[in-house]
Amino acid sequence: MTIDKRFDAERIEDEWQAQERALEQERRGVPGNEGTSRERRYRVLARVLAEPSVAQLPVDFAATVAREARTLDAAQEAREQRFEKRLIVTLWSVLALAVVVVAALYGEQLAALLRPGQASSPSAAPWLFVLLGAIGMSYLWQRVQIRRAR
């Protein structure tokens, strides 16, 4: 059997338009006996499709999900804190190891520098400034962090 495709497309378009008209009429609240019989059937369909589903979410759904999200936040924060602690411990361990290595390699020279009368010598002065500067910067950074946390 052969089908005239143009005729086919026209009929489909005509049906689509009837479906859309019926939906628009139903939304406008057009009385049930108006329109063609085909539109009236589609209007009944539109009415049924506009009904909410019988099953619904529990009334406290939003509050429950928000509580769950807060729990996730807290868990995430705890994970981050654990990671931060481990990182600090690792860095302190590396620093301690570095001190031991430096002491082993340059202990003699450092001890000589720290002997009374040596610290004020011209060769030791720049290192003293660097040390004081580092302590000062570290202190200031700590203050900024505390203020930010407040």
Q: How far is the CB of 3 from another protein (least distance, A)?
A: 6
Q: How far is the CB of 78 from another protein (least distance, A)?
A: 16
Under rule CB under 8 A, residue 25 binds another protein = no
- Inter-residue long-range contacts of 20-26, CB under 8 Å, 24+ positions, other chains counted: 22/46, 26/50
**Residue 22 near residue 43 (C-beta atoms within 8 A):** yes
How many CB atoms neighbour CB 134 within 10 A? Answer: 10
Size of interface with another protein, in residues (CB under 8 A): 40
Q: Give the whole-angstrom CA distance, residue 60 versus residue 26.
A: 33
Q: Which residues here bind another protein, judged by CB under 8 A?
A: 1, 3, 8, 11-12, 15-16, 19, 23, 32-33, 36-38, 40-42, 44-46, 48-53, 55-58, 61-66, 68-69, 72-73
